Structure 1
């Protein structure tokens, strides 16, 4: 069956730790993916990152999956926000690129969440088209096996990061086919009139985050959140978050260089 590291971790009910890829290139993606045996997933950010959706995402996904069966799951965040009508073709490109899941930003209604599910699933449960000669090979299965199992293996992840999304979170979580609700604390803060986290969200935003966590758990779905450090990620794991972004490549590079240069300068 077509499966992957993140899917296995989520099904085991253990926290799934991941990393954000903002810099372009297959070598960068591969380096991030090899950084830790505790990485369950990485996301290639085609919304705010510098990787093109097509064919850049496919090249990065291939580089990651070529690491073998223990590679972290490669996800793709598409550029279009959930408030627009143009997400379908972007989901198609991301999944044909071999992504183990798709992350769709700015989902604010159950209707849009259902649209995302339909674009991510093959018939009879969705309307995703089949035809890429490459996708099944990136997954390491036959075309027939991919077509048979993809609806159960590809993760559909929607981001909750606006005031409207908070209001509608119970309805969004109840949509059949949505696997994970992903909290974006930065846009959520800005949308609600608060400054972005530095490093933690404003207490009023934290209350919204805990509300989203509670409603998602009630619906029996998995809940994810973006963090900026390992310490923050550990705290979110203790709170019951299932999928946690621990760090990003660009910030980790800058922090690592700063730390080493500071140590050298002190001598």
Structure 2
């Protein structure tokens, strides 16, 4: 699966990302400006563009995660998971019984405001993607316990935060950072857990693909827009 992060507040861009043929868009509430009301519009636009809307919530708690799923997100990405206890919190907030303890209200967008069959809604909702981000030394140290848990779908390595935690901020291609990524990859693969990460160069993307990562977010919509215009200017003004 290939997608991008989005930091725009214009839902037309979300729909356009879908029209590009990408698989998913991560609507970023951790490092982006999208608030709850705008989130609903973004999710509707993603579905109009036939792309999977994933929401990276700003924190690991029931209200933030439940609100994103109530709005119709088809997955949530939870940042800064450092322990099995934190992973359990994310699972609990994302899943209905018997997997978790997500707050129940069927009069929300995800349940067609009460029109969707109740049993169908609860069953379908538990199939939404839950992506856990591990991006620091503490998370890596506790990775064995995190990977032993059931109820999440993808382990996402945040390379920039990981590089900082290792003492090489921003140097995501540093040998020690790559070595740590490979260590995480091997542990996850031994448990048959899908892997995701972020790339902002073709070289990094190819490195991830070659190592079995199948959920890759390539760069950010606004930066891609800037670079597209730069390339256009370069071509037209030769």
Aligned equivalents of 1:244, 1:128: Cα separation in 2: 27
Aligned equivalents of 2:15, 2:202: Cα separation in 1: 21
- Is the partner of 2:30 in helix, strand or coil? coil
Q: Confirm whether residue 59 of structure 1 aligns to residue 41 of structure 2.
A: yes
Aligned equivalents of 1:264, 1:40: Cα separation in 2: 31
Q: Confirm whether residue 76 of structure 1 aligns to residue 55 of structure 2.
A: yes
Name the count of aligned residue pairs: 236
Q: Confirm whether residue 109 of structure 1 aligns to residue 109 of structure 2.
A: no
Structure 1 residue 50: Cα displacement:
2.0
Structure 1 residue 32: Cα displacement:
1.3
Q: Confirm whether residue 145 of structure 1 aligns to residue 125 of structure 2.
A: no
Q: Which residue of 2 aligns with 1:133?
A: 108
Q: For 1:179, which of 153, 172, 176 is the aligned residue?
A: 153
Aligned equivalents of 1:230, 1:247: Cα separation in 2: 10
Mean Cα deviation higher: 142-151 or 89-98: 142-151
Q: For 2:189, which of 211, 217, 230 is the aligned residue?
A: 217
Q: Which residue of 1 aligns with 2:33?
A: 50
Q: For 2:198, which of 226, 229, 236 is the aligned residue?
A: 226
Give the aligned CA root-mean-square deviation in angstroms: 1.7
Q: Which residue of 2 aligns with 1:244?
A: 216
8 A Cα contact 2:161 2:169, kept in partner: no
Aligned equivalents of 1:133, 1:102: Cα separation in 2: 17
Aligned equivalents of 1:230, 1:49: Cα separation in 2: 24
Mean Cα deviation higher: 111-120 or 24-33: 24-33
Q: For 1:118, which of 92, 109, 129 is the aligned residue?
A: 92
Aligned equivalents of 1:29, 1:62: Cα separation in 2: 9
Kindly report which structure 2 residues correspond to 1:16-31, keeping only aligned pairs within 5 A, or say none.
16-31=1-16
Residue-by-residue CA offset, 1:156-198 (whole Å, 9 max, x unaligned): 111110110111112111111121110110011111211203x
Aligned equivalents of 2:157, 2:151: Cα separation in 1: 18
Aligned equivalents of 1:142, 1:250: Cα separation in 2: 39
- Is the partner of 1:181 in helix, strand or coil? strand
Q: Confirm whether residue 263 of structure 1 aligns to residue 238 of structure 2.
A: no
Aligned equivalents of 1:232, 1:207: Cα separation in 2: 14
TM-score, with length taken from structure 2: 0.93
Q: Mind listing any 5+ residue stretches in structure 1 that lack a counterpart? A: 1-15
Q: Which residue of 2 aligns with 1:201?
A: 173
Q: Confirm whether residue 170 of structure 1 aligns to residue 144 of structure 2.
A: yes
